[in-house]
Amino acid sequence: MNNSILIIGGTGTTGRELVNILNNNQVEFKALARTNEKAEAFQSEGINTVVGELGNWDSITPALSGLDTIFLLTGASPENVKNQNGLIDRAKAAGVRKIVKVSAVVAETGSDVHLADWHGQIEDHLKDSGLEYVILRPHSFMQNMLMSLPTIKGQGAFYESIGEGKLPMIDARDVATASYHCLLKDDFNNGTYVITGPDSIGYSDVASSLSNASGKSISFLNVPSEAHNQGMKAAGLPEWLADDLTAMSKKWARSKDQPTNDFQNITGQTARSIDQFAQDYADWFK
Ligand SMILES: NC(=O)c1ccc[n+]([C@@H]2O[C@H](COP(=O)([O-])OP(=O)(O)OC[C@H]3O[C@@H](n4cnc5c(N)ncnc54)[C@H](OP(=O)(O)O)[C@@H]3O)[C@@H](O)[C@H]2O)c1
């Protein structure tokens, strides 16, 4: 079936990598772009593109015709449940067979962390939809370090409030790799997978990997939760998002979360380490 895969979120961190992997492997697919400008950028690379936006359903419904499988990812937004559940309903009505959804390790319906609750509600809706599904729950992305570029470049330091907590952070490129395998194979259908990096690491480990790779001293400075929260709000993060990140940091300050085997089982590969991430992104941090 030509173009029987639709990628939603293909212009973002994870989705862009997925688009590259599909393209490099000469898989037929089409990518959703929210603006004509982004669509033209895809088209200039020979990528089949449809312009549309979840929530603007007149732009989406025609794109669902004849589809077999959808990759579903959108950025963090209070519209997440309305938009993703709306897409699931319309996909079902259009005869789509399968959806691969990127969720999050924290997903939990009823959680007081909005992001966790929203992902939980969407997971529940997808499971109840009758569609085949794969739910990927990544742990914290290594690429989150790019949000600290201003202070890393300006002060040689980044600020977090999880103390000595350790997380099996994952490279978003590996989230894309796992998504690729789940889109093309049915072996993992109707399952939920926690995908992680290979090691449980703290921010001191991250600082040391970034320092080694970039050749400059980069320090992790732990700050009290309230100060971190105020800093994120002052930097322009929406209040709900800063509060969610603070709540997650409080939980993760006690975390000794360990890696799972799910990434390796799905892909047959070993996930990238923080050293690998730091080497590949070294120029960003110099
Ligand atoms: N960061 C983490 O540590 C982490 C960990 C686990 C899970 N997650 C989950 O991963 C997801 C974020 O992944 P990411 O960082 O790769 O995303 P991202 O870079 O923020 O990209 C979001 C993508 O979704 C598109 N999008 C947003 N709203 C849309 C709409 N209404 N209709 C169609 N497309 C829309 C964006 O399009 P535009 O380019 O037009 O904006 C973009 O392509 C979230 O669900 C988050 O909860 C993140």
Average pLDDT of the segment spanning 80-92? 98
Distance CA 218, CA 203 (A): 11
- Atom number, ligand 1, closest to the C-alpha of residue 15: 16
Which tokens is 238 given?
């929406």
Distance CA 259, CA 167 (A): 8
Q: Is residue 85 part of a domain?
A: yes
pLDDT in the model for residue 2: 47
The CA 101 to ligand 1 mean position distance, Å, reads: 11
Domain count, the chain: 2
The CA 17 to ligand 1 mean position distance, Å, reads: 12
Average pLDDT of the segment spanning 233-259? 94
Sheet containing 5-8: give its strands across.
49-51, 30-33, 5-8, 69-72, 98-102, 132-138, 191-195
Range of the domain at 284: 140-169+197-257+273-286
Q: Is the CB of 196 under 6 A from ligand 1?
A: no
Residue 282 pLDDT more than 90?
yes
Name the one residue in this structure whose structure tokens are 């950028």: 41
pLDDT in the model for residue 219: 98
Q: Is residue 228 part of a domain?
A: yes
Average pLDDT of the segment spanning 72-87? 97
Q: What is the mean pLDDT of the chain?
A: 96
pLDDT in the model for residue 3: 60
Q: Is the CB of 12 under 6 A from ligand 1?
A: yes
pLDDT in the model for residue 97: 97
- Atom number, ligand 1, closest to the C-alpha of residue 138: 6
Which of 36, 74, 179, 195 gets mutated to test ligand 1 (max ligand atoms within 8 A of its CB)?
Answer: 74
Same domain, yes or no, for 105 and 95?
A: yes
pLDDT in the model for residue 255: 87
The sign of the dihedral angle between the CA atoms of 66, 69, 73, 78 is positive
Same domain, yes or no, for 42 and 118?
A: yes
Residue 283 pLDDT more than 80?
yes
Share of residues in the chain with pLDDT > 70 (%): 99
Distance CA 86, CA 55 (A): 8
Angle in degrees, CA 37, 43, 46, rounded to 5: 160
Q: Is residue 185 part of a domain?
A: no
CATH number of the domain residue 239 falls in: 3.90.25.10
Average pLDDT of the segment spanning 194-222? 98
pTM of the prediction? 0.98
- pLDDT tier for residue 162 given thresholds of 50, 70 and 90: very high
Q: Is the CB of 104 under 6 A from ligand 1?
A: yes
pLDDT in the model for residue 1: 44
The CA 14 to ligand 1 mean position distance, Å, reads: 8
Q: Is the CB of 59 under 6 A from ligand 1?
A: no
pLDDT in the model for residue 91: 98
Which of 73, 103, 111, 248 gets mutated to test ligand 1 (max ligand atoms within 8 A of its CB)?
Answer: 73
Same domain, yes or no, for 107 and 90?
A: yes
Average pLDDT of the segment spanning 249-272? 95
Same domain, yes or no, for 132 and 147?
A: no
CA dihedral 114, 257, 12, 101 (to 10 degrees): -70
Q: Is residue 78 part of a domain?
A: yes
Distance CA 91, CA 70 (A): 8
Q: Is the CB of 73 under 6 A from ligand 1?
A: yes
Distance CA 105, CA 118 (A): 12
Same domain, yes or no, for 125 and 152?
A: no
Residue 84 pLDDT more than 90?
yes
Whether 269 contacts 263, CB under 8 Å: yes
Q: Residues 104-138: pLDDT tens digits?
A: 999 999 999 999 999 999 999 999 999 999 999 99
Average pLDDT of the segment spanning 51-80? 97
Which tokens is 206 given?
């991250």
pLDDT in the model for residue 272: 98
pLDDT in the model for residue 164: 94
